[in-house]
Chain A
Amino acid sequence: MTSYIIRRLGQFVLVFFAATLMIYAMVFAIPGDPIRALAGDKPMPDSLRQTLTQQFHLDEPFLVQYWYYITGVIQGDLGTSFNNREVTEIISERFPRTLRLAIYAFIIEVIIGVSAGIWAGIRKDKFFDSLVKVSTVAVISVPIFVLGFMAQLIIGVRLGWLPVTAGNPPSLYGYLLPAIVLASVSLAYVARLTRSSLVENLRSDYVRTAKSKGLTQRRVIGVHTFRNSLIPVVTFLAIDLGALMGGAIVTETIFNIPGIGRAVYEAVLAQEGNVVVGIVTVLVIIYAVANLVVDVMYAVLDPRIRYD
């Protein structure tokens, strides 16, 4: 197992270089001059423009630019934005907000999604099961920005139950509505996945064996069925934790949370290559770690899987 984890960490290096190179290339390919965009409508002296262009190596070929960037990264320097802010500073300012939002959403997703799925699975074809099936399809099929605005309108404005925006600085209470909206789609998936996995396992031979051992219904479901049923759910959840952070852009925009999603969006518009690559690389690493955690969890949950 340890050697497997070490090997997987080795793969991270490859993923890191591939991801940074690709993102850097994509930002490079955006047409237009970022320095000119920086000045907006105001005229910019040619000398200043040249200085800035040279400072950010914008006149060099792509691979040379990437080389400057990546050697910096290896020394722990993610570079600066065009207005001379350290990218590390941007990340450390913005990232905790997104992390909080994602973790709240994740908690909501796990608690409500898994329990709804379990209850629906046990009471298959009863009212609650149908309710879960219908409501999850509804949530999955509505785009998240529609959900977000509807939640703001109904829960925030009409009913006044929760704040419409997260506030500044964002409070735990303020995070609640955006976290629910961010969690909703994943929650629906988790509920459906848990339900179908449980239903499938309840039909399995080993559950029949567990019954024939004279175990209580509670033990048959709680011990013999759950662990098997949760294997696919845990996979989804771990990967989704990464997706929640990267996918919070729309939610952060709607609820006015200056998190990492917003930062990426702004940086792309401003062609801030360093910022985009820095943030996305952090997200890629989170994703890769989540994947590794999933694989390790697999082996813990399912003894048939062994990594040597």
Chain B
Amino acid sequence: MTKVTPLDTAYDPHRPETAVLLEVRDLEVEFRMRSGTVKASNMVSYHVDKGETLAIVGESGSGKTVSAQAIMGIIDSPPGFVTGGEILFRGKDILQMEEKERREIRGDRISMIFQDALTALNPVFSVGWQIAEMFRKHRGMSKSDGYKRAIELMDLVKIPSASERVNAYPHEFSGGMRQRVMIAMALALDPDVLIADEPTTALDVTVQAQIMELLAELQQQTGMGLILITHDLGVVAEVADRVSVMYAAEVVENADIEELFVRPYHPYTEGLMRSLVRPDHKGGRLSPIKGSPPDLLAIPSGCPFHPRCDYAQDICRTDDPPLRVIEEGRTSACHFAEVFSDE
């Protein structure tokens, strides 16, 4: 799944010959607030290729969304600041780009859909207007051409009788249909990468499945890279190619999807899997991870997961384990990655 995209060599002679579509390297994001400085992204690295789905998994407040917002350049600043790292899109660091150049990528080459489509869509403009805006502002299309394309896109995301509903407002749609509008808007300009931030969390279970199916289908058609941010390992198991697990603003494990479910290399990942609701556990008790995610203002010493970890030893309380390669294509930030997973 490591397809290679040729680079625009005129840009930087020192770049490697090949590069992945989108790569986040050692990203550091801080939120400077009155109560203190929070590191919401601590040396976070991941990448996504053409046609590939990367799932970023973690509990609320684990910093999943922050790195995505950094890619889009929509972190509220102040208080948020990107303080380190690189975000390479086709080999170019978008953090170093001029605002104008970034804006041309944003929404056009990399786009994003959000959790709650009701609040994420502007209530005072029709959905057609909001989709057409992409064509008008990025492609210089006329209003009527933009509307025509908007109808095509609404058809593409399977909104029934699109040509009649193009002038309807967000509040006149159901939750699932609104999310489809959001998807249509994000896919308007045929982006290379789509970031989906908890796209189904606000929806009914049946609608969730439809939306995930739609995303998978559209990915097939367009060959875009998909970054799926979620806390739902069930969804991950169905659609993801690779998984990055985040805990307390750090990536703690990277794995291909099949391998992850066979043998997790981080106790946190294992905990997430154990807390899944599964049919073969019927009648049994759920086993959630004990404790709660740490306050990012007061991350525990050593391994941030140690207070909740069943395998914690003394070293875990003092030394923060670095992310290291366990085997080909597998990394984990656990001192005992190999040991605990044997048990």
In angstroms, Cα B123 to Cα A219, docked, is 16
* B124 engages A302 (CB within 8 Å): yes
Extra A-B contacts (20), CB below 8 Å, given A215-B133, A227-B124, A228-B122: A203-B76, A204-B119, A205-B119, A205-B120, A208-B120, A209-B114, A211-B72, A211-B106, A212-B74, A212-B107, A213-B111, A214-B103, A214-B106, A214-B108, A214-B138, A215-B107, A219-B137, A302-B124, A303-B171, A304-B123
Residue numbers in B under 8 Å from A215 (CB-CB): 103, 107, 133, 137
In angstroms, Cα B134 to Cα A43, docked, is 84
When each residue 216-232 of chain A gets 1 if its CB lies under 8 Å from chain B and 0 otherwise, what string results?
Answer: 10010000100110000
Q: Is B116 on the interface with A (CB-CB < 8 A)?
A: yes
Q: Is B169 on the interface with A (CB-CB < 8 A)?
A: yes
Which partner residue on chain B sits nearest A301 by CB separation? B124
Residue numbers in B under 8 Å from A302 (CB-CB): 123-124
* A210 engages B104 (CB within 8 Å): no
Q: Is A62 on the interface with B (CB-CB < 8 A)?
A: no
Check A228/B106 contact, CB under 8 A, given A205-B116, A208-B74, A213-B185.
no
Which partner residue on chain B sits nearest A226 by CB separation? B124
Which partner residue on chain B sits nearest A125 by CB separation? B78
Residue numbers in B under 8 Å from A209 (CB-CB): 114, 120-122, 182
- Interface pairs (26), CB distance under 8 Å: A205-B116, A205-B120, A206-B119, A208-B114, A208-B120, A209-B114, A209-B121, A210-B122, A211-B106, A212-B74, A212-B111, A213-B107, A213-B133, A214-B105, A214-B107, A214-B138, A215-B103, A215-B107, A215-B137, A228-B123, A228-B124, A301-B124, A302-B124, A303-B124, A303-B126, A304-B169
Q: Is B154 on the interface with A (CB-CB < 8 A)?
A: no
In angstroms, Cα B50 to Cα A194, docked, is 45
B interface majority secondary structure: mixed
Q: Is B112 on the interface with A (CB-CB < 8 A)?
A: yes
In angstroms, Cα B74 to Cα A302, docked, is 26
A130 CB to closest chain B CB (Å) equals 16
- Which of A216, A228, A303: most chain B CB closer than 10 A? A303
* B119 engages A213 (CB within 8 Å): no
Name the interface size band of chain A: 20 to 34
* A206 engages B123 (CB within 8 Å): yes
Residue numbers in A under 8 Å from B116 (CB-CB): 205
Residue numbers in B under 8 Å from A304 (CB-CB): 123, 169, 171
Which partner residue on chain A sits nearest B68 by CB separation? A212
* B137 engages A205 (CB within 8 Å): no
* A214 engages B137 (CB within 8 Å): yes
Residue numbers in B under 8 Å from A212 (CB-CB): 72, 74, 106-107, 111-112
In angstroms, Cα B76 to Cα A209, docked, is 12
In angstroms, Cα B138 to Cα A116, docked, is 32
Residue numbers in A under 8 Å from B121 (CB-CB): 206, 209
Query: Which residues from 288 to 307 on chain A have a C-beta closer than 8 Å to any C-beta of chain B?
Result: 301-304
A239 CB to closest chain B CB (Å) equals 21
Residue numbers in B under 8 Å from A228 (CB-CB): 122-124
Which partner residue on chain B sits nearest A216 by CB separation? B103
* A213 engages B106 (CB within 8 Å): yes
Residue numbers in A under 8 Å from B120 (CB-CB): 205-206, 208-209
Ranked 3 nearest A-B pairs via Cβ:
A214-B107, A214-B106, A205-B119
B108 CB to closest chain A CB (Å) equals 6
In angstroms, Cα B108 to Cα A180, docked, is 49
- Which of B120, B134, B182: most chain A CB closer than 10 A? B120
Residue numbers in A under 8 Å from B108 (CB-CB): 214
Which partner residue on chain A sits nearest B169 by CB separation? A303
Residue numbers in B under 8 Å from A303 (CB-CB): 123-124, 126, 169, 171
Which partner residue on chain A sits nearest B121 by CB separation? A206
Residue numbers in B under 8 Å from A204 (CB-CB): 119
* B74 engages A211 (CB within 8 Å): yes
Check A206/B106 contact, CB under 8 A, given A213-B134, A304-B169.
no
Which partner residue on chain A sits nearest B123 by CB separation? A304
In angstroms, Cα B69 to Cα A208, docked, is 10
In angstroms, Cα B275 to Cα A118, docked, is 49
When each residue 184-215 of chain A gets 1 if its CB lies under 8 Å from chain B and 0 otherwise, what string results?
Answer: 00000000000000000001111011111111
Which partner residue on chain A sits nearest B104 by CB separation? A214
When each residue 267-308 of chain A gets 1 if its CB lies under 8 Å from chain B and 0 otherwise, what string results?
Answer: 000000000000000000000000000000000011110000
Which partner residue on chain A sits nearest B118 by CB separation? A205
B38 CB to closest chain A CB (Å) equals 18
Check A205/B185 contact, CB under 8 A, given A212-B106, A213-B134.
no
- Which of B111, B122, B126: most chain A CB closer than 10 A? B122
When each residue 112-149 of chain A gets 1 if its CB lies under 8 Å from chain B and 0 otherwise, what string results?
Answer: 00000000000000000000000000000000000000
- Which of A206, A212, A302: most chain B CB closer than 10 A? A212
When each residue 87-121 of chain B gets 1 if its CB lies under 8 Å from chain A and 0 otherwise, what string results?
Answer: 00000000000000001111110011010100111
